Structure 1
Amino acid sequence: MGNLRKLPIVVQTNYNHFQYVAFPLCIGLATGMKDWIDSRFVHAIGFRYFSSSKEAILNLDYSNGFHGADLFDSELISRYDSTRIESIIEFIRTAIDNGRYIIAFLDKATILHLGGSPYLHDILIYGYDPTAEEILTVEFDTDRRFRAIRYRYSDFDQAFTAAQYEWRQESSEYTNCIQLLSPPENYPGFDAEFLRDELHRYRMSDPIDPERQYYDGVWWIDPRIAVSRATSFYFGIDIFDLLSIYVGDLGASSRIDYRPFHFLMQHTNGLAERFKRLFIHHNVAGGELIEHLRLHAASIDRSRMRILMYSLSDRQHSFDGLEGQISVWKTTEAELIDRAFDFLYSGAAT
C-alpha cells in the first residue's frame, strides 16, 4: 500500500495569526525561513464591520506581513475548477508527491458530524497515509489552537463534496477554493532596513491600501467584498483607538470578543522580539527596553485572560475603565518604541 508521505511542517504558535497567514507560516518555519519572517509582522491594520445580525465585529490583523504568495510558488484553483475535481484524495496525493502543500476549504460541519448549516473553513494539508487511509492536516480546532489532525479518506472526501455543493450556489462569495504552495529552494535572509522601516510605519500609523492588503492575503474572495464591509480602517498603533471605540460601544448585556486583546498581546511580544533582533544586529545592548516591552505585553495579557473569562460566561459584566486602560497601553507602547529607536540609533552610532 506504500509508506506515509508527508512534507515538513511546524504547528506554529509563536506567530498566532489569522489562518491565511498562519498556514503558510507552518510551512515556512519548517523549511528555513525564520530569518525572513523576523523582518516582517510589524505594521497593523484594523477595521469594524457589521454581521448579518447587526453585531459590530472587530477585525485586527497584520499588513505588509507574510502571505503565501510572497515567497512561495502559489497556484489558485478557482471555484469553478474546484467543483470539477473528481477525486480530492488523488488530487492531494499527486500534490504531496510533487512537493506541494494544499490549503483547501471543507465543510467542517460535515467532517465533525455537527449537522445543521454548512460551515466552510480552510485547512492546511501536508501529507497522507496510504496504509491508514488518512489525510494529514493542520487546522484551527474547536479549542482555538492550531493542531495536527488526521482525517480518514472517506470523511475528508465527504466534507470536500459538501463544500463543492456550497461553491455551486450563486450566492457564494468564493472566487478561489484551493491554494497550492511550493517553498523556494532558498529564502532571503534577515532584512534590518526593511524591519526598521516597518517599525516606523507602525509607530506613525501610516495608512495602506486596504483593498491591496486583502488582495495580497485573502485569496479566496474578491478583495472588494472584504473592503466594502468595513465601516472604517485604522492603521499601526492607532488600532488601540479602534479597540477603544469597540469597547465604548459595548452595552451591559454585550458579549466581548477576547481575540483582539489576544492579538495585541501577541503583537506586543512581537515588537519586543523585533527590537531584540535589531539590537543584536547592531550589537547594541537593549535588554532593559526589551523587558519593558514584555511587561507591557504581560499587562495586556492579564486583561485578555479576564476578558476571555467574561466571553465564556453567561453573566453580565461591566467594562467600565477598560477604555482608559487601552489608552494607557497605547501611550506606553508609543513611549517604549520611541525610546527603543533613540537607544538603537545612539547605540549604533557609537
Structure 2
Amino acid sequence: MPCLKINVQHEYTSYLYGALPLCVALAHEDTLPWYLERYVQLHSEYSPGSGEQPHLDFADSFGYPEVLECRTLDWAAVAEAGPSVIDLIRDRISAGHHCTVFVDDDHLREREFVRLHEYLVFGYDDRSREVDVVGFGGRPRVFSALRISYDDFARAFRRARSAADEGRSEVRNPVQLLRPRPDSHSFSPDRLARALKEYVSGIPGETHGTDTWWSAPAEPVPDAADLETNAGVKTYDHLVLHLAQVKDGTAGLDYRRFHLLSEHKGMILRRIAQLADSCALHEPLAGTLDAYRELDRQVREFRLRLLFLPPEKTGHEAARGLEFLARVRETETRLLEQVVRIVGVV
C-alpha cells in the first residue's frame, strides 16, 4: 500500500493547476520558508476582444518547479507504460513520484457530460484496488483526500483520452510527475517585505510561464494585441471591470475571481504574522495585524455572499461590491504600506 506524503492545504484551491502541486510542496517542512516568501503578488489579464472575463491569479501559481522536480507525459507516453493508467501510477508512486492526472471528472460524478479535471494521485492499494487522490469530491464538492476505485479512475482516464482524440480537449500532457527537490530554504523577511512593496506599488513581479502545465501548446501562442495585464493592487481594476459588467447585465458573475481574492487576503495575513514573529515586531505590527485580520474577515464574508447569491440579487450585490472593492483596495494599500515601513525594507 505505497502512499506518499501530502498536505491537503486549503490556503489556495481556486485553480487545481496551482493548488495540487502545493499539496506536495507543503508536505515537507523544508519548503515552508520558500512558500512564506511568495504568494503575495497577484497578476490579472484581460483581452476586451476575446469575449472572456478578466483572469486573476497568483504570479507564483506556476513557480513550484523551484521546489519540485516536474515532468509531463503526453498521451502516447502514458499508453507505453501499460494497458491502463493504473500501471503508470503504480510504477511512478513506487519510485517516489506524485502523479497529477487528467481524467473525465463528470464520469466520476456520474454525469453524462465530459469535463477534464486534474487529480493528484499519491497512493494506491492493490488489495482494495483503489487510488488515493486529492481533488474536489463529495456533495458539496470539497477539496480533500479521496479514494477512487482502479476501474472508475481508469475508465475516467480513457474517456478523457477519447475527448482529446476527438478534439474536445486541449490537454496534450495528461500526466505530470512531481517529486520534492532535496534542497533546504531559509526565510528572508527582507524578501517578503520587498514582495509586499511590489504588490502595493503594482510593480509586476516574476510571473512564471505555463510551460509546466499540461495543456501548454506545442508552439508558443502570441498574446492578443489588446491584452491588458495588471499586477498587485492594480488587479482590482479588472475585478471592478468584471463587477461593473455584472451590474449592467452584460456578463455573468464569475465567482472564482473573488474566491481567489479572499484566499489572497488570508495568505497576506499569514505572512504579516510571520514577519511579526521572525523580526520580533509583535508590538509595532500589532495594530496593523488586527486591522488586516478584520479586512480578511470582510473579504471572506463578501466571498460567501457571492457564493450563495440568488440570481435575482446579482445586480444589487454587484453594485454593493463595487463600493466594497474600492474600500478594500484603499485599506489594504494603507495597511501594507505600514508593514513595509515598519519592517524597513529599502
TM range (shorter): 0.7 to 0.9
The residue identity in structure 2 corresponding to 1:25 is: L
* Equivalent in the alignment of 1:295: 294
Percent identity between the aligned chains?
Answer: 23
> How far is the alpha carbon of 1:111 from its aligned partner?
2.4
Distance 1:230 1:301, change over 3 A: farther
1:36 has 2:31 as partner: no
Which residue of 60, 63, 83 maps to 1:64?
60
Distance 1:225 1:209, change over 3 A: farther
Distance 1:29 1:324, change over 3 A: same
> How far is the alpha carbon of 1:305 from its aligned partner?
1.8
1:143 has 2:127 as partner: no
Which residue of 9, 12, 16 maps to 1:12?
9
> How far is the alpha carbon of 1:192 from its aligned partner?
2.6
Within a 5 Å distance, the mapping from 1:158-197 to structure 2 comes to 158-170=155-167, 172-197=169-194
> How far is the alpha carbon of 1:316 from its aligned partner?
5.3
The residue identity in structure 2 corresponding to 1:37 is: Y
Q: Distance in 1 between matches of 2:121 and 2:256?
A: 25
Tell me if structure 1 keeps the 8 A contact 2:173–2:214: yes
Q: Distance in 2 between matches of 1:158 and 1:226?
A: 36
Which residue of 18, 21, 43 maps to 1:24?
21
* Equivalent in the alignment of 1:274: 271
The residue identity in structure 2 corresponding to 1:26 is: C
Q: Distance in 1 between matches of 2:48 and 2:85?
A: 35
* Equivalent in the alignment of 2:228: 232
Tell me if structure 2 keeps the 8 A contact 1:135–1:152: yes
Tell me if structure 2 keeps the 8 A contact 1:135–1:151: yes
Distance 1:332 1:301, change over 3 A: same
Tell me if structure 2 keeps the 8 A contact 1:24–1:67: no
Q: Distance in 2 between matches of 1:34 and 1:209?
A: 19
Within a 5 Å distance, the mapping from 1:256-267 to structure 2 comes to 256-267=253-264
> How far is the alpha carbon of 1:252 from its aligned partner?
5.6
Distance 1:165 1:257, change over 3 A: same
Q: Distance in 1 between matches of 2:206 and 2:8?
A: 31
**Structure 1 stretch 58-67 or stretch 299-308: which is displaced more?**
58-67
Q: Secondary structure at the match of 2:182?
A: coil
Q: Secondary structure at the match of 2:57?
A: strand
* Equivalent in the alignment of 2:112: 115
Q: Distance in 1 between matches of 2:61 and 2:314?
A: 37
Tell me if structure 1 keeps the 8 A contact 2:2–2:125: yes
Distance 1:332 1:121, change over 3 A: same
Distance 1:115 1:102, change over 3 A: same
Distance 1:68 1:152, change over 3 A: same
Consecutive unaligned residues of structure 2, counting only runs of 5 or more, are: none
Q: Distance in 2 between matches of 1:202 and 1:78?
A: 36
Q: State the Cα RMSD in Å.
A: 2.7
Q: Secondary structure at the match of 2:99?
A: strand
1:221 has 2:248 as partner: no
TM-score norm. by structure 2 comes to: 0.88
1:96 has 2:103 as partner: no
Tell me if structure 1 keeps the 8 A contact 2:118–2:135: yes
**Structure 1 stretch 151-160 or stretch 11-20: which is displaced more?**
11-20
Consecutive unaligned residues of structure 1, counting only runs of 5 or more, are: none
> How far is the alpha carbon of 1:272 from its aligned partner?
1.9
TM-score norm. by structure 1 comes to: 0.87
> How far is the alpha carbon of 1:120 from its aligned partner?
0.6
> How far is the alpha carbon of 1:148 from its aligned partner?
1.0
**Structure 1 stretch 198-207 or stretch 248-257: which is displaced more?**
248-257
Tell me if structure 1 keeps the 8 A contact 2:78–2:88: no
Q: Secondary structure at the match of 1:249?
A: helix
The residue identity in structure 2 corresponding to 1:61 is: D
Cα deviation, 1:227-254, whole Å, max 9, x if unaligned, reads: 5598422211111111111111124655
Tell me if structure 2 keeps the 8 A contact 1:202–1:237: yes
**Structure 1 stretch 100-109 or stretch 15-24: which is displaced more?**
15-24
**Structure 1 stretch 168-177 or stretch 14-23: which is displaced more?**
168-177
* Equivalent in the alignment of 1:203: 200
